[in-house]
Amino acid sequence: MKSKTRTLPLIALAVAFSAAGQLQCNATAHEHEQHDTTDSASKTHSTKGHAEGYHRKFSHAKHWVKVFDDPERDKWQLPDRVVEALNIGPKDVVADIGAGTGYFSFRIAKAQPSAKVYAADVEKDMLDFLAKESNRQNCKNVIPFEIKTTKPELPEKISIVLVVDTFHHIDSRVQYFKDLRSSLSANCRIAIIDFTDKSPVGPPKDHRIDRKEVIAELEDAGFHLSKEHSFLPNQYFLEFTL
């Protein structure tokens, strides 16, 4: 079934950026706190996009795979519908930023075996796990890649960036995405999926980032919102292009 989308005045496609900390965790992994969101467009251009992200260590991949790859997650993450909505082609080069245990990387690789998927993460333990899983699952098109927390650079031009449950972890996000532009193809799409304030799962509420602020920060970095999907129950799903 095709996802419902809201297409904006032709200003682009989108790229997805998975989980450099994939906070696709359940309520037991994160304590909920009060989060003050605002509908004021003028307030979305806050200092948040230039500040530190929500820091949390994600070493010990064997522990996190039980959380990130919990079948219960599939009920609200709807991974197959997300992959379908990304419409990845056989010649696409995908960067799953914050890939974690490869929850999306391996699904993308199997859905489009001719595409190349860089499973990018900052945690070396996760990268070791991804390398082993790539062999175990016979997904040779999944390539673990250690990405920097600042001045991110990818090994080749990327056509789709996926950032799932990771955006709120990134420091100085506006500058981060400005720096990322040098690694993107001209028609690259960036897809950002993260938790809404009302989601019963996810990071502490005061570390969640309102969708309007995400849009404002990406615009500050030189991107434009091109499409918005509304089928995820706990998250917004935004696509951007240059």
Answer yes or no: is pLDDT of 40 > 60: no
Residue 30 has pLDDT above 60, yes or no: no
pLDDT in tens, 57-74: 555 666 657 677 889 999
**14 has pLDDT over 80:** no
Report pTM: 0.78
| Per-residue pLDDT at 66 | 65
Residue 137 domain-assigned?
Answer: yes
Position with higher pLDDT, 212 vs 50: 212
**Does residue 144 or residue 26 have the better pLDDT?**
144
Residue 139, pLDDT score = 97
pLDDT 10s digits, 73-88? 999 999 999 999 999 9
Percent of the chain topping pLDDT 70? 73
Report how far apart the first and last C-alpha atoms of the chain are (Å, whole number): 28
The band of 29, judged by pLDDT with boundaries at 50, 70 and 90, is: very low
Given a contact cutoff of 8 angstroms between Cβ atoms, the answer to whether 226 and 85 are in contact is no
Residue 36 within a domain: no
Phi and psi (nearest 5°) for 163? -130, 100
Structure confidence by residue, pLDDT tens digits, 109-144: 999 999 999 999 999 999 999 999 999 999 999 999
In a domain, 38, yes or no: no
pLDDT at residue 10, as a whole number: 32
In a domain, 37, yes or no: no
Dump pLDDT digits (tens) for 197-235.
999 999 999 989 999 999 999 999 999 999 999 999 999
CA distance 174 to 35: 21
Within 10 A of 171 (CB to CB), how many other CB atoms are there?
Answer: 14
Mean pLDDT score of the chain: 82
Count of the separate structural domains present in the chain: 1
State the residue range of the domain holding 176: 5-31+46-241
For residue 149, is it within any domain?
yes
The stretch 3-24 carries a mean pLDDT of: 38
Q: What is d(CA 73, CA 7) in angstroms, rounded to the nearest whole number?
A: 27
Cα–Cα distance measured from residue 74 to residue 167, given in angstroms and rounded to the nearest whole number = 20
Phi, psi values for residue 52, rounded to 5° = -70, 150
Residue 62: what pLDDT?
A: 66
Question: pLDDT at position 64, please?
Answer: 57
The CATH number that applies at residue 19 is 3.40.50.150
Whether residue 41 lies inside any domain: the answer is no
Average pLDDT for 52-58: 49
Domain membership of residue 68 (yes or no) is yes
Domain contains 39: no
